[in-house]
Amino acid sequence: MIATHRLVRQALAIDPRGIEVRFGLRCAIGVAVPLLVSYAAHQPLDGVSAAIGAMAAGFASRQGVYRTRAAAMLLTSAAMAFSAFVGALSGPYPVANIALFAIWGIALGVLGSLGSAATTVGVNSAIALVVCGHYPYVPSDALPQACFVFLGGALQTVLLVSIWPLQRFTAERRVLAAAYRSLSAYASSLPATNLSSPASGSLATVSDTLADPHPFARRSELVAFESLLDEGERIRGALAALATDRHLLDDYGAADAADETRQLAADAHPILEEIAAAVADGRAPSELGAAWHAADLRANALEELASLVPFGGTAVDDARALLAAMRTAWRAAGVPADRSSSASPSRPHAPQPFALSALGEALETLRANCSPRSVFAQHAIRLGGMLVVAGLLERWLPLQRAYWIPLTAVIVLRPDFTATFTRGIARVAGTIGGAVIAGLITALVHPAGEVFLILAIGFAAAGYMLFSVNYAVFSVSITCYVVFLLAYAGAPEHLSAVDRVGATFLGGVLALLSYAIWPTWSRDHVPDDLAELIEAQRRQTALVLHGYIDPGTFDVRGTREAQLASWRARSTAEAAVDQMVAEPVRPRGLRVDTALALVAAGRRYGIAVLTLYSRLPAHDAVANPQLALLAAELDQALHAIAEALRNRTHDVIAMPRLRATQVELKRALDQAPEPNLAAIVSETDLLVESVQAMLDALRRNAAAEA
């Protein structure tokens, strides 16, 4: 009952901040143009086909940033055109049409393994197959209509891409500003007890955005944004290090020094906020002389107090590193503002060549997910089977708009429980609401011809604007759009509200039943996601500690890539655990409390690695053999934990003598003090503590299983 209430509340939750007026108006133009042209040419059906392609391409534009966004839009348009052609030809032949439903469903399920962009292409192509299969054409008519679908999507792509030269790095500014606001929020409340590092997701988003650069940008402008990303990562590391310093100073009893550390982070808050605002607004940062002066005074005060603590010099180094990174970011924030006033770039950024490695990676991902153990393969079989049943119901039931059964089912069914059930609730509620609103408008206005056209365009704009507000509200708009669009084409959709609601309800119930009959619970793949997180942290740790042991061969690029991989693995694992918590079934094997404990330990481990990484540039080689031994033992321990998770053998983990080795490392510092060791002993202690916490959690889980 509690789970049901949570799902309903989540499905109907409204976020007014998600309203996107400019996005809605831009995309609505792409839908309106073919409809208005077809109206003027007295060819409404051609305009409807083009509008269908334009509508889908508009939503596909939410995928990617620049070139990847254009590719997603064109691929969606091409896939829909092909599916529309095949659906129209197979419509008169029920067996062939339903067989295609199964093939499209299986393909869509496996394509989901490539990410949200591939899912968008697959879902829209399946929708085109379903809808066009309900309105059969002869071959001579099917091909032109399919071409109009593609042309509508291509037109939408051209319209949206054409504004890129006028947009001065909107996407880059938005994600960079969000990243610096996230750092600012962390600095304003520097943790002292429950250690956690600044959120990594926003910086990972920046990295992904800059990896898909503006095609009309100068290289010098892109370098400025890359500099802001680099300094953001340094600031994140310095803040994480200061949080560790505050924790250690509190434990040592140096309350005044710990408070100065907290105050320094608080003084950084307005500076980071101003950097974020300047980047977002495309201007140079405003003068904050008082804030900079206060931060410098705080660093000086910390230096005096920290001199009384054996490891106080490390805290001072971290404070200075934070201020230096913020000053560099402050200067970098003004560079794009100085150059964005030019009317046009002198030379576009050279496009990157097509990477065969990316295609190879995608094919390898698809091949790997054809295994029966893959969540996506299981979802593909479930989706294909469900569409066969939906196709049979569409043919057998005496409903005028029965194609809404498979259409709703393919939209609702997702690989995970939470998304399927929240979408199902929202879709049914939104369709009922849309049918009621469309019926009321029809009864009050008695629309025809031009009025249907205006209503369709208006609800298309509303659908784009409200997409991120709530899925049920979005479904209301899309239902009204479809009703009035097809009514404009001559189909009496506005008179079939009861049939449409009934078919939508059946489609939603069918999707939920399909999942209930063959569920793919997150609990089944959470151990693998956690194992991937631990392996990513293992690789990052090895590279960072090697940088202390042998700085001359330190792999800067590889370490940064390992850091990004660790961030993404943490995001995936935490999302999977959240889904696991929401599922109304008791997990088998790995318990919820164990998964949460592993996530918490992973966060503490992450902050220690990040702190070590942030301090790395200031250190020479650490020759103490205990550090090399500890690095090897950490590598062995993390690999053993990851393998135990993958193999579901939580009670057979052979662990090295981590704590003893770390104690020897600390003893080496006490006997022959070395500044380099002083900078890392506290972090290796946290690394060992985190690994021990992971091991303890798995042992408790094994004891509970026994």
556-608 pLDDT, tens digit per residue, is 888 888 888 888 888 888 888 887 877 776 666 788 888 888 888 888 888 88
Mean pLDDT calculated for residue range 472-489 = 87
User: For position 359, what pLDDT does the model report?
Assistant: 67
Report d(CA 181, CA 186) in Å as an integer.
9
Mean pLDDT calculated for residue range 522-548 = 89
Residue whose entry in the numeric block shows the structure tokens 């020759």: 623
Tokens at 584, concatenated:
């109304």
DSSP string, 606-622: HHHHHHHHHHGGG----
Q: Does residue 101 contact residue 129 with C-beta atoms inside 8 Å?
A: yes
User: For position 673, what pLDDT does the model report?
Assistant: 57
Least confident of 143-147, 179-183, 266-270, 339-343: 339-343
User: For position 347, what pLDDT does the model report?
Assistant: 40
158-203 pLDDT, tens digit per residue, is 998 888 777 668 888 889 999 999 999 888 887 766 666 677 677 7
CA distances from 253 to 249, 576, 673 (A): 6, 40, 21
CA distances from 384 to 110, 242, 353, 410, 635 (A): 11, 53, 36, 9, 43
Backbone angles phi and psi of 434, in degrees to 5: -65, -40
Report DSSP state, residue 165: G
Query: Is 80 exceeded by the pLDDT of residue 232?
Result: yes
Element (H, E) at 309: none
Confidence band of 78 (pLDDT split at 50, 70, 90): very high
Confidence band of 654 (pLDDT split at 50, 70, 90): low
Q: Does residue 411 contact residue 431 with C-beta atoms inside 8 Å?
A: no
Query: Is 50 exceeded by the pLDDT of residue 340?
Result: no
- 522-705: CATH architecture: Up-down Bundle (1.20)
Residue whose entry in the numeric block shows the structure tokens 């992450």: 606
Burial readout 33-51 (b: 16 or more C-beta within 10 A, e: otherwise) = bbbeebeeeeebbbbbbbb
Of the candidates 72, 57, 109, which has an alpha carbon nearest to the alpha carbon of residue 415? Answer: 109
| 3-class DSSP string for 512-556 | HHHHHHCCCCHHHCHHHHHHHHHHHHHHHHHHHHHHHHCHHHCCH
Mean pLDDT calculated for residue range 318-326 = 86
Of the candidates 192, 246, 310, 305, which has an alpha carbon nearest to the alpha carbon of residue 679? Answer: 310
Backbone angles phi and psi of 587, in degrees to 5: -65, 145
Range from 68-72, 315-319, 495-499 that averages highest in pLDDT = 68-72
261-291 pLDDT, tens digit per residue, is 889 989 999 999 999 999 888 888 888 888 8
Query: Is 80 exceeded by the pLDDT of residue 9?
Result: no
Of the candidates 295, 292, 302, 291, which has an alpha carbon nearest to the alpha carbon of residue 259? Answer: 302
Confidence band of 492 (pLDDT split at 50, 70, 90): low
Query: Is 80 exceeded by the pLDDT of residue 293?
Result: yes
Report d(CA 374, CA 525) in Å as an integer.
9
Please give the angle made by the CA atoms of 215, 220 and 222, to the nearest 5 degrees. Answer: 50
Q: In the structure, how many helices (H) and strands (E) does the chain have?
A: 27, 0
User: For position 193, what pLDDT does the model report?
Assistant: 60
Q: CATH 1.20.58 region(s) of the chain?
A: 522-705
Report d(CA 243, CA 196) in Å as an integer.
8
Query: Is 60 exceeded by the pLDDT of residue 228?
Result: yes
pLDDT above 70 covers what percent of the chain?
Answer: 86
422-442 pLDDT, tens digit per residue, is 878 888 888 888 888 888 888
Least confident of 258-272, 292-306, 443-457, 640-654: 640-654
Backbone angles phi and psi of 619, in degrees to 5: -115, 145
